[in-house]
Amino acid sequence: MARSAAEFHHTVNAAGSRTAGVPPALATELSAQAVILDGAQIKWVLVGFRDPRTRIARSSIAPVRACPASRDQRYRLTAPSVPNSIRFKGSAQMPRHSYAELDSVRLHYAAEGPEDGDLILFAHGFPEFWYAWNKQLTEFGRSHLAVAPDLRGYNLSSKPANVEDYELKNLVEDIRGLAAHFGCGGDKKFTLVAHDWGGVVAWAFALVYPEMLDRLVIINAPHLAVFRRELAQNPAQRKASEYIQFFRTPVAESMLSANNFAALSAIVLAPGLERGYFNDADRRAYLEAWSQAGALTGGLNYYRALPGVTDKDANDDLPTLLPGARSWIVQVPTLVLWGMKDVALLPGNLDGLEEYVPNNRIERIPEGSHWVVHEMPDLINSHIQDFLGGKTIWRTEAATARR
């Protein structure tokens, strides 16, 4: 249920100051803040905020590099065992858990299905973790080796300290390394399914390593070339993306974690708890994941490491952003699932997508929001199963003019 800004302020302020933990000098510069909660999405609008240390103004979307994790949050090549609260959901055993040692990080993952099965890899977004895919692991573990990692910076995976460690090229290499951990490469391909930030990484992976992918499934995640067009030309998308500016600020951790992660709970959990697709075990699992040392900073660093996307021509940025990518054209059969009630990533991100993804199929889900994976898991699973089982997919008539 949507709440007004006043109602949300009352909720936050009743539990404690919304600037708890913010340095006093910085707090005095935060002259006003409006929070609008619409369904399952939250939009942060900073009014009159300027931090001289990071030079953030309301009109700026420049990356912030002032928020590395503290020393006690530096990544380690060891990680705690998987807590019981996320091994079990009620009385049901959760998937098996393990770790993949990659070149620079250690990734925790959950898996179901035969070890020698065809790999289907699920990549989550912000502020989630492997558990976001628990219903997909059950479904696709029947026919595949279904694997859902905690991406770098999240939950039980390594949490590099520097913002630069979260640049897109490093996230792409994590996917490559994890797929190789399961034997993919050469003639052995895999299917990649991804949502939100995981989807951004998946689009990028498909540009750099198309030969490794059999199929690609994207759920409410924009192709970067389309997204930068929308930010440049669509005022509604620019307004919807104002939360990115907040996520890049030094106060983001304090405000999102305040009052036992009240803001994140309102974004991710509250609608599901109201509507019944989340239960208390789910709530506890998310709170435990968010409470892992450095996990919130790790997730926010994805936003901080992303370069501005409207400051120059897209093709000029590609070699730096994604070494190894030759163009913005995705040469992999792709299914795009889109909850049309997403208020942060607007439907305009689907317009003209065929120019960049010539072999694509788009399924618009009218009643789905950004969290459609949770809202309609059976429908999502059905679309993916249909896509995996089909011999061909829709082909657009668009010429690949930007090859």
* 3-class SS string, 124-150: CCCCCCHHHHHHHHHHHCCCCEEEEEC
Residues 6-26 have a mean pLDDT of 34
Q: What is the structure's pLDDT at 390?
A: 66
Map out the domains of the chain as residue ranges. Answer: 1-396
| Positions marked catalytic | 196, 303, 370
- How high is the mean pLDDT of the chain? 79
Q: What is the structure's pLDDT at 318?
A: 84
pLDDT digits 0-9 by tens, 221-270: 999 999 999 999 999 999 999 999 999 999 999 999 999 999 999 999 99
Q: CA dist 37 to 34, 157, 186, 368, Å?
A: 10, 30, 46, 16
DSSP single-letter state for residue 211: G
**Homologous superfamily of domain range 1-396:** Alpha/Beta hydrolase fold, catalytic domain (3.40.50.1820)
Q: What is the structure's pLDDT at 62?
A: 31
pLDDT digits 0-9 by tens, 159-202: 999 999 999 999 999 999 999 999 999 999 999 999 999 999 99
| Least reliable range by pLDDT among 36-45, 137-146, 313-322 | 36-45
pLDDT digits 0-9 by tens, 198-216: 999 999 999 999 999 999 9
* Amino acid letter, 119: L
Q: Residue 397: is its pLDDT beyond 50?
A: no
Find all residues with CB under 8 Å of 279, minimum gap 6, and list them. 273
Q: CA gyration radius for the chain? A: 20
Q: What is the structure's pLDDT at 335?
A: 98
Find all residues with CB under 8 Å of 333, minimum gap 6, and list them. 214, 215, 216, 359, 360, 393
Q: Which of 83, 102, 87 is nearest to 156 (CA)?
A: 83
pLDDT digits 0-9 by tens, 82-130: 554 454 443 345 799 999 999 999 999 999 999 999 999 999 999 999 9
DSSP single-letter state for residue 267: I
Q: What is the structure's pLDDT at 26?
A: 33
For the chain, percent of residues with pLDDT exceeding 70: 71
Q: Residue 308: is its pLDDT beyond 70?
A: no
DSSP single-letter state for residue 391: S
Residue 320 confidence class, pLDDT cut points 50, 70, 90: confident
Q: Residue 52: is its pLDDT beyond 60?
A: no
Q: Which of 93, 163, 117, 155 is nearest to 287 (CA)?
A: 155
| Least reliable range by pLDDT among 57-71, 84-98, 360-374, 383-397 | 57-71
Q: Residue 61: is its pLDDT beyond 80?
A: no
Cα–Cα distance for residue pair 254/142, rounded to 1 Å: 41
Q: pTM, whole model, 2 decimals?
A: 0.79
Measure the N-to-C terminal CA separation of the chain; round to a whole number of Å. Answer: 44
